[in-house]
Amino acid sequence: MTLPLMPKATAVWLVENTSLTFKQIGEFCGMHSLEVQAIADGDVASHIVGMDPITTNQLTLEEIKRCEADENACLTLATNPEIEKLLSKGSKFLSQSKRMIRPSAILWLVKNHPDLTDGQIIRLIRTTKPTVKAIRERTHKNLNKIQAQNPVTLGLCSEADLNAAVAAIKK
């Protein structure tokens, strides 16, 4: 079952604003009913501001009322195309440490697959054209500190994506 965005904040809001059981809220938010009870008692998540799942289109008022009427009913997440699109894309954010290893992956690609175009490297590693150009031309500011490393082992791209890019060169 897909969980709502910000499950604890959603659980806080549901505890404060509905008469749903702890079990129903726990199942919907992916939490144990005792954890939801601790939220209701104020022992856990007292600093978390509740997030209204109705305004974020994760639940409908009718769904909440249906489950309030029947203790055995389970809440179901409303389908929101915007949220599904965000969840399916995956995160585009890379931590600072991952950003620092990109030049290593670019150097490895340039050494082992010199026929890859700058555009292919940019798509594979999600980097910028100036970075690729600087490493190709050996003008990168940290070039003497960069050690070539396989982007697959660094987790910057998948083996299938790398193989597809290399196969595209051969065609």
Residue 110 and residue 81 share a domain? no
pLDDT in tens, the chain (171 residues): 578 888 899 999 999 999 999 999 999 999 999 999 999 998 888 788 888 988 888 888 999 999 999 999 999 888 756 555 544 545 556 666 667 789 999 999 999 999 999 999 999 988 899 999 999 999 999 889 899 999 888 888 888 889 899 898 887
Domain count, the chain: 2
The reported pLDDT for the residue numbered 36 is 93
The reported pLDDT for the residue numbered 4 is 83
Domain boundary among 25, 57, 89: 89
Rg (CA), the chain: 24
122: domain range?
A: 96-170
The reported pLDDT for the residue numbered 80 is 54
Residue 133 and residue 74 share a domain? no
Number of CB atoms found within 10 A of residue 156's CB: 23
The reported pLDDT for the residue numbered 169 is 84
Domain boundary among 28, 60, 89: 89
The reported pLDDT for the residue numbered 87 is 47
Does residue 58 contact residue 10 with C-beta atoms inside 8 Å? yes
Is residue 2 in a domain? no
Residue 102 and residue 32 share a domain? no
Residue 133 and residue 102 share a domain? yes
3-class DSSP assignment, residue 149: coil
The reported pLDDT for the residue numbered 33 is 92
Residue 83 and residue 56 share a domain? yes
CA angle 28, 57, 62 (to 5 degrees): 70
State the DSSP string of 88-113.
HH------HHHHHHHHHHHHHHHHH-
Residue 82 and residue 101 share a domain? no
Residue 155 and residue 133 share a domain? yes
Residue 78 and residue 20 share a domain? yes
Residue 121 and residue 139 share a domain? yes
Residue 104 and residue 73 share a domain? no
Domain boundary among 37, 54, 89: 89
